[in-house]
């Protein structure tokens, strides 16, 4: 499969796969999280303050997974 590629090309492809796969789940998770939070705020606007901060914390924790994938991609040699 990778017979015509040198080591550098395979590393670049591996980095691309790591970032692509490592960013799909956080993107889906953050999208669902924010969508449900906005739905909850739309149903109960008075609770916006209680919903917004946990939503931001959840988005930050989900984004950390993508950052870990970026770190792994940078450490591949």
Of the pLDDT bands very low, low, confident and very high (cuts 50, 70, 90), residue 2 is low
Treating both helix axes as pointing N-terminal to C-terminal, what angle do 7-43 and 48-75 enclose, rounded to 10 degrees?
A: 180
Contacts of 69 (CB under 8 A, 6+ apart): 18, 19, 21, 22, 23
Could you tell me the two tokens for 35? 């969508």
Q: How much is the pLDDT for 46?
A: 97
Q: What is the pLDDT of residues 5-55, one digit of tens each?
A: 888 888 999 999 999 999 999 999 999 999 999 999 999 999 999 999 999
Q: In b/e form, how buried is each residue of 36-74, taking b as 16+ CB within 10 angstroms?
A: ebeeebeeeeeeeeebeeebeebbeebeebbeebeeebe
Q: How much is the pLDDT for 1?
A: 62
Which residue ranges form the domains of the chain, and what is each CATH number? 7-75 (1.20.20.10)
């Amino acid at each position: 499969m990778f017979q015509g590629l040198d080591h550098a090309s395979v590393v670049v492809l591996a980095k691309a796969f790591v970032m692509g796969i490592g960013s799909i789940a956080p993107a889906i998770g953050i999208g669902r999280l924010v969508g449900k939070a906005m739905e909850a705020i739309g149903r109960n606007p008075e609770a916006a303050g209680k919903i917004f901060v946990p939503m931001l914390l959840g988005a930050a924790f989900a984004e950390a997974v993508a950052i870990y994938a970026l770190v792994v991609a940078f450490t591949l040699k």
